[in-house]
């Protein structure tokens, strides 16, 4: 196994490099980059002032950099010297290959630079958004596992019954409804839309959260999470529930279960002493990926509907505003995390199922 892990770690290097290089090349051809957006902003400022930038160009530049808005219209009438200053400001005065090598060198040291749009460290931005994404991801992950696995086992045991039929109808109906549509429905019903005003709609906590006692802080946080978690979880039930059911049905049909029953073991003992361990292998091996992903997942539509400022919204704003340091840094980090998680998942297969071995893997 050690040789397999070493090969996988070495394979991560060209994989990560290839993903970053491909994304970097694509970005070079995307119109409306940070320099173009700043040119447009400066032109708008000049038009609003009714004159030229002149000697106050630097002041206008400083005043306009915080907006980060606009799209490319060309550098009509802009001083070439000021254009060069803008290119140096954003690092576009160097050839593309030098910028890529410099970027990867910084990323290897986990130096991700500063956002063009927010003018803050990329690490600080991601850390600030993590509480929202962690809250959505972890609660969705826990509820999905805690509900879907027992439900899937029950459906497998009672396969073909009315219980199996109506629960399948319920979970598949929930799966067919997009999360953002369900979120809007929940707001209309329980968020003061047209019926009951029960649950809050903005943020993770209330404005007076700091003044609350610890028990009330927990209650306030959970109260804010009810609607967005409900919208996120319902669509996740179907896959995990049906995977659990089918895995148990496959094991129940095997010969060793018939042998256990012939020896006089009860159905409960057969299910939990023999079937459970083998049937849970596909679910347990997928646990590392889902668990790690729960800490860094971001749902743009859910965050937007419920006014939650998380990683999903950050990623969307970064693409729209051509905030390349945020786009590339988060891509690097999550790609590296995904590759490591995939390796952990493969190793988990061996730990859970001794029949699997990597000794002959090439």
Tens digits of residue pLDDT in 140-173:
888 888 999 999 999 998 998 999 999 999 988 8
Interior CA angle at 262 toward 261 and 265, to 5°? 40
Name which of 61-75, 182-196, 255-269 the model is least confident about.
61-75
Tens digits of residue pLDDT in 241-290:
988 999 999 988 888 888 888 888 888 888 888 888 788 877 777 777 77
Comparing C-alpha atoms, which of 318, 293, 326, 286 is closest to residue 134? 293
Interior CA angle at 361 toward 358 and 362, to 5°? 150
Q: How far is CA 29 from CA 26, 85, 96, 301, in A?
A: 6, 21, 11, 28
Domains of the chain: 34-90 (no CATH), 123-352 (1.10.3720.10)
Terminal-to-terminal C-alpha distance of the chain:
11
pLDDT band at 362 (very low <50, low <70, confident <90, very high): very low
Q: How far apart are CA 248 and CA 278, in angstroms?
A: 8
Question: Average pLDDT of the chain?
Answer: 80
pLDDT band at 361 (very low <50, low <70, confident <90, very high): very low
Percent of the chain at pLDDT > 90 equals 15
Q: How far is CA 209 from CA 135, 218, 289, 306, 310, in A?
A: 16, 10, 33, 18, 19
Enumerate residues 6+ apart whose C-beta is below 8 A from 198: 190, 191
Q: At what angle do helices 324-352 and 287-296 cross, to 10 degrees?
A: 160
Interior CA angle at 118 toward 114 and 119, to 5°? 45
Q: How far apart are CA 280 and CA 349, in angstroms?
A: 11
pLDDT band at 16 (very low <50, low <70, confident <90, very high): very high
Comparing C-alpha atoms, which of 218, 174, 175, 226 is closest to residue 196? 226
pLDDT band at 74 (very low <50, low <70, confident <90, very high): very low
Q: How far apart are CA 261 and CA 50, in angstroms?
A: 90
Comparing C-alpha atoms, which of 307, 339, 259, 266 is closest to residue 12? 339
Q: How far apart are CA 245 and CA 155, in angstroms?
A: 6
Comparing C-alpha atoms, which of 61, 124, 53 is closest to residue 88? 61
- Give φ, ψ of 197 to 5 degrees: -100, 85
C-beta pairs of 342-347 under 8 Å, 24+ apart in sequence: 342/289, 343/5, 343/8, 343/9, 343/12, 344/288, 344/289, 345/285, 345/286, 345/288, 345/289, 346/8, 347/1, 347/5
pLDDT band at 45 (very low <50, low <70, confident <90, very high): low
Whether the per-residue pLDDT at 76 is higher than 70: the answer is: no
């Amino acid at each position: 196994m050690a040789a397999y892990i070493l090969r996988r770690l070495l394979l991560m290097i060209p994989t990560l490099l290839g993903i970053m290089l491909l994304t970097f090349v694509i970005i070079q051809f995307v119109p409306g980059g940070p320099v173009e957006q700043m040119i447009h902003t400066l032109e708008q400022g000049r038009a609003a002032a009714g004159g030229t930038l002149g000697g106050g160009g630097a002041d206008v530049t400083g005043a306009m950099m915080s907006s980060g808005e606009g799209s490319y219209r060309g550098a009509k009438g802009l001083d070439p010297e000021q254009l060069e200053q803008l290119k140096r400001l954003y690092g576009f005065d160097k050839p593309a290959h030098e910028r890529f090598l410099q970027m990867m060198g910084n990323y290897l040291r986990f130096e991700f630079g500063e956002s063009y749009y927010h003018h803050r460290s990329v690490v600080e931005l991601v850390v600030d958004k993590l509480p929202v994404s962690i809250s959505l991801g972890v609660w969705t992950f826990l509820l999905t596992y805690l509900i879907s696995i027992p439900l899937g086992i029950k459906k497998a045991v009672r396969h073909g019954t009315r219980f199996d039929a109506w629960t399948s109808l319920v979970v598949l109906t929930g799966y067919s409804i997009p999360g953002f549509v369900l979120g809007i429905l929940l707001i209309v019903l329980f968020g003061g839309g047209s019926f009951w005003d029960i649950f809050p709609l903005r943020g993770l906590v209330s404005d007076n959260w700091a003044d609350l006692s610890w028990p009330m802080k927990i209650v306030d946080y959970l109260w804010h999470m009810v609607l967005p978690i409900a919208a996120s979880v319902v669509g996740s039930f179907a896959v995990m529930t049906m995977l659990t059911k089918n895995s148990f049905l496959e094991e129940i049909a095997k010969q060793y279960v018939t042998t256990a029953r012939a020896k006089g073991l009860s159905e409960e003992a057969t299910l939990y002493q023999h079937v459970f361990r083998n049937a849970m292998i596909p679910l347990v091996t997928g646990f590392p990926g889902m668990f790690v992903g729960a800490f860094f997942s971001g749902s743009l539509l859910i965050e937007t509907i419920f006014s939650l400022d998380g990683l999903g919204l950050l990623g969307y704003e970064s693409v729209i505003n051509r905030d390349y340091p945020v786009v590339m840094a988060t891509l690097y980090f999550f790609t590296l995390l995904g590759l490591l998680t995939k390796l952990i998942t493969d190793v988990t297969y061996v730990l859970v199922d001794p029949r699997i071995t990597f000794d002959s893997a090439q």
